[in-house]
Amino acid sequence: MPEHGEASKPAGISDATVKARTGKSWSEWFAILDEAGALELGHKGIVAVLSEHNRVGPWWRQMITVAYEQERGLRERHQTPEGYQVSVSKTIAAPVGTVFDEWTDDNTRTEWLKAANFTVRKATQGKSLRIAWGAGTSSVDVNFYARGPEKSQVVVDHRRLADADEVARMKAFWTEALDALKKISER
């Protein structure tokens, strides 16, 4: 197994950060999990082992578990128990209400989101959309955040994708779509 020094950033988090937040470095956590037989425990079992360490809160338990699974070849990047997922975000110089409306107005949406087949399952005005994508085999969560009175952030989380190739395709798709949304929102 590779050494986990400062140059290694499992889950995109530095060794210094994980040690500051949890009291242990990546290599220390991975050694604890190896000692506990985590390779055979599955995701929930690994989380349970980490639950025994009082300084590790729920968010850090998940981060350490996913990093361990990826580092030990139990999980690929972007892989979850339900398939693969990708997140894309964009900051837009427009109020949240405007950006939200450009998702929910059919005419405006067809200007920037070309040939998309989806069904909105739930919409919370100005906050979020829950979408069944395509034939419903994958799903999309869209979250809207105010970053000031005239600035918004849109985060698209596309889940239950089939594989890493689909992750790459959908990342490119959403990057292009959010770029187009930004142009329309800022005009």
- The pLDDT-based confidence of 5 (bands split at 50, 70, 90) is very low
| Contact predicate 129/120, CB 8 Å | yes
Residue 180: how many CA atoms within 13 Å on its side-chain side? 15
What are the backbone angles phi and psi of residue 159, rounded to the nearest 5°?
Answer: -115, 170
Query: What tens digit of pLDDT does each residue of 128-175 get?
Result: 999 999 887 899 999 999 998 899 999 999 988 888 888 899 999 999
d(CA 80, CA 105): 32
Query: What tens digit of pLDDT does each residue of 72-129 get?
Result: 877 777 666 677 888 899 999 999 999 999 999 988 998 999 877 898 999 999 999 9
CATH number assigned to the domain covering 80-185: 3.30.530.20
| Contact predicate 154/98, CB 8 Å | no
Tokens of 172: 């490119």
d(CA 172, CA 176): 6
Q: Provide the residue ranges of all domains of the chain, joining segments of one domain with +.
A: 10-71, 80-185
Tokens of 98: 């405007």
Q: Rg of the Cα trace of the chain?
A: 19
Residues 118-137 as b/e (b if ≥16 CB within 10 A, e otherwise) read: eeeeeeeeeeebebebeeee
